[in-house]
Amino acid sequence: MAEETLSNLLAEDRTFPPSDEFAAQANGTQAMYDAAAEDREGFWADQARSLLTWETDFTQTLDWSQAPVASWFVGGRLNASVNCLDRHIEAGLGDRVAINFVGEPGDTRTLTYADLHEQVQRAANALAALGVGTGDRVAIYLPMIPEAAVAMLACARLGAPHSVVFGGFSSDALRTRIADAEAKVVITADGGYRKGKPSALKPAVDAALEGETTVEKVLVVRRTETEVEWDEGRDLWWHDALEAAEPTHTPDYFDSEHPLFILYTSGTTGKPKGIFHTTGGYLTQSAFTCSTVLDIHPETDVYWCTADIGWVTGHSYSVYGPMSLGATQVMYEGTPDTPHQGRWWEIVQDYGVTIFYTAPTAIRACMKWGSDIPAKFDLSSLRLLGSVGEPINPEAWMWYRRVIGGDRCPIVDTWWQTETGAIMVSPLPGVTATRPGSAQLAIPGISVDVVDEAGNSVPDGHGGYLVIREPWPSMLRGIWGDPERYAETYWSRFPDVYFAGDGAKKDSEGNIWVLGRVDDVMNVSGHRLSTTEIESALVSHPKVAEAAVVGATDTMTGQAVVAFVILRGDAVEEADEEGEGAELVAELRSHVAKEIGPIARPRQIMIVPELPKTRSGKIMRRLLRDVAEKREVGDVTTLADSSVMDLIKDGISSGS
């Protein structure tokens, strides 16, 4: 299958060089590649000094002596919130719009940098009054509203690492993340608007804090005005706390390596990994890529990244990157099809959006809804388009270019990860002739390669594993509380290089084509999900004895969750009764959604009598993927019992 996709991809030879006009004004240049090739560390030191404001300059660019944990910009001191706010105010840019907010019901708010600055200072004072100090962790569980950015920047101002938990995650997911980070405070809202109605958040927080917890206080933003349960000793309204707080706050400055945030992501085991990032290097590379890859010109552009702050893209490209440049952004709360399928394009038209950054899954959905929908809106303000989160198939790329970009906007397909903190592989829109479906080249100062099983660099025209050869400024500094797992997960597969977990190919010109995960991580609509995590959720249901989950290719969502379950004794008989099987499947699908969140709900659950296992008991997901994708089942010779696959296939054809 991967080979098939690959031959399609590699037959893709259309190229789109930037227009002279675009190239002439672009921030990213060929000279940057040259400078970085000559002196990589010197290049990053220049970027750190020119893009950020340091209270104390650094004395050493990179210390790799504690590998695989890097220290960047050693000895430097700075404050991320000052870089995103105060320095813009000091430069006289207080009146510039920071956020054009559009709520799903149609309410709008405009926040200038001065407005945001005041709110962040008040929020920092309010958090400090609740006992949040440097190093304390704060969990943020909010919808996509300006308070989300305010909360993050207020934490950064205090040097209190935030852990944003996506609002679509369940209370259980929230509970484990709060416990792992030992958060002291949670910032949440009564709810947010999704798909035309209020969707509650506070009840999930209440449930997550039941029993023993490290959380002392909960700040609640009023958004939907729905009624909420209230714990007098613990809960405070955000607006009351901010109103009572002083409007100014004198920031402290922190070491370049001071933790900025923790963000949980799925790994290959059931336990999510708390990826943690520090300040100086992270901010340098997010600002650098906003400038050179997304080509943000803060004086003139209106930039919109559709990612929710619950994901890393929302951290680097809705908050820290654009705000450190002083950009004007759009922030939209809801879904792209509420109340109509042209909602995004209407917003682009209304706000004159010039740079638009989204995910392939959204592009494919818009493609399905039809080109006549975006055609109803004036999209002529757009000048650059970006894609992130999963491989973009050439058809979707071409549609994006033609229908949204009017055949005029360059597209940057950006490869990176929660772990990498910022964009790593991407065209530079004013330099690179783009190719539909390829993220192409490492950005200046980044060293990416594709290696074979033995860790040797593959020649052009060959495939293998995507690795990063040199430490980079925005790299993760570890997994929260688990340094061994960090070294084991990323640095043990190949000696001295970072293994990203993705398969990739180099074409004859050395362009990189990312093919997707090679581990037990699925990518559903650009969201990372772990097969093991969903399996544990299924097994936690009283009727399930065993479960195996695979990511099956899906034309809309990239991959889809398909689960195979073995039922417990009594449940088997029940399921055999007329109609009960379908009911049980529905129950199990909801169970997963409840345990993890609706994004993890399996597309399909098949009840089977056995699972294919090797003699050592390892489930052979490859064979289940064949079944899920309705292919001829591959080599079964390593199975402990080779007749199992027949049993499964028979079971499926008779059972569902």
Shortest distance in whole angstroms from residue 384 CB to ligand WTA: 15
* The pair of three-digit structure tokens given for residue 420, joined into one six-digit string: 């990498």
> Distances from the Cα of 259 to the Cαs of 266, 276, 278, 571, in angstroms?
20, 7, 4, 48
Per DSSP (E only), the strands in 441-578 are: 448-451, 463-468, 478-479, 498-506, 512-517, 521-524, 527-530, 544-554, 558-567
Which residue's entry shows tokens 């073995």?
A: 566
411-414 vs 384-388, strand pairing mode: parallel
Does the annotation place 467 within a ligand binding site? no
Shortest distance in whole angstroms from residue 240 CB to ligand WTA: 35
Under a CB-based contact definition with an 8 Å cutoff, are residues 118 and 247 in contact? yes
- Considering beta carbons, is residue 271 or 297 the nearer one to ligand WTA? 271
Does the annotation place 414 within a ligand binding site? yes
Does the annotation place 194 within a ligand binding site? yes
Closest CA to 603 of 586, 621, 584: 586
Does the annotation place 330 within a ligand binding site? no
Torsion sign (Cα): 471, 476, 480, 484: negative
Closest residue by beta carbon to ligand WTA: 418
Query: What's the rounded Cα separation, in Å, for the pair 73 and 45?
Result: 7
Q: Which residue type does 130 have?
A: L
Closest CA to 432 of 404, 400, 410, 463: 410
- Considering beta carbons, is residue 122 or 401 the nearer one to ligand WTA? 401
Q: Alpha-carbon dihedral of residues 372, 376, 380, 382, nearest 10 degrees? A: -70
- Considering beta carbons, is residue 311 or 472 the nearer one to ligand WTA? 311
**Coil, helix or strand at residue 479:** strand
- Considering beta carbons, is residue 8 or 642 the nearer one to ligand WTA? 8
Does the annotation place 87 within a ligand binding site? no
- Considering beta carbons, is residue 177 or 517 the nearer one to ligand WTA? 517
Q: Which residues bind ligand WTA (CB under 6 A)?
A: 265, 311-313, 388-391, 413-418, 439, 500-502, 514, 516-517, 523, 528
Does the annotation place 493 within a ligand binding site? no
Does the annotation place 269 within a ligand binding site? no
Does the annotation place 394 within a ligand binding site? no
Under a CB-based contact definition with an 8 Å cutoff, are residues 150 and 577 in contact? no
Does the annotation place 517 within a ligand binding site? yes
> Distances from the Cα of 223 to the Cαs of 339, 370, 597, in angstroms?
19, 33, 21
Shortest distance in whole angstroms from residue 308 CB to ligand WTA: 11
- Considering beta carbons, is residue 254 or 397 the nearer one to ligand WTA? 397
- Considering beta carbons, is residue 245 or 500 the nearer one to ligand WTA? 500
The contacts of residue 572 (CB under 8 Å, 6+ apart) are none
Does the annotation place 453 within a ligand binding site? no
Shortest distance in whole angstroms from residue 316 CB to ligand WTA: 8
Shortest distance in whole angstroms from residue 171 CB to ligand WTA: 22
Which residue's entry shows tokens 């309410």?
A: 107
Shortest distance in whole angstroms from residue 517 CB to ligand WTA: 5
Report residue 80: phi and psi, to 5°.
-65, -40
Shortest distance in whole angstroms from residue 640 CB to ligand WTA: 31
- Considering beta carbons, is residue 166 or 238 the nearer one to ligand WTA? 166
At residue 284's C-alpha, the angle toward residues 280 and 286, to 5°, is 120
The contacts of residue 518 (CB under 8 Å, 6+ apart) are 465, 501, 502, 503
Does the annotation place 418 within a ligand binding site? yes
Shortest distance in whole angstroms from residue 419 CB to ligand WTA: 7
Question: Which residues are part of a known binding site for Mg(2+)?
Answer: 539, 541, 544
Binding residues for ATP: 389-391, 413-418, 502, 517, 528
**Annotated binding-site members:** 194-197, 313, 389-391, 413-418, 502, 517, 525, 528, 539, 541, 544
Enumerate the known binding-site residues for CoA. 194-197, 313, 525
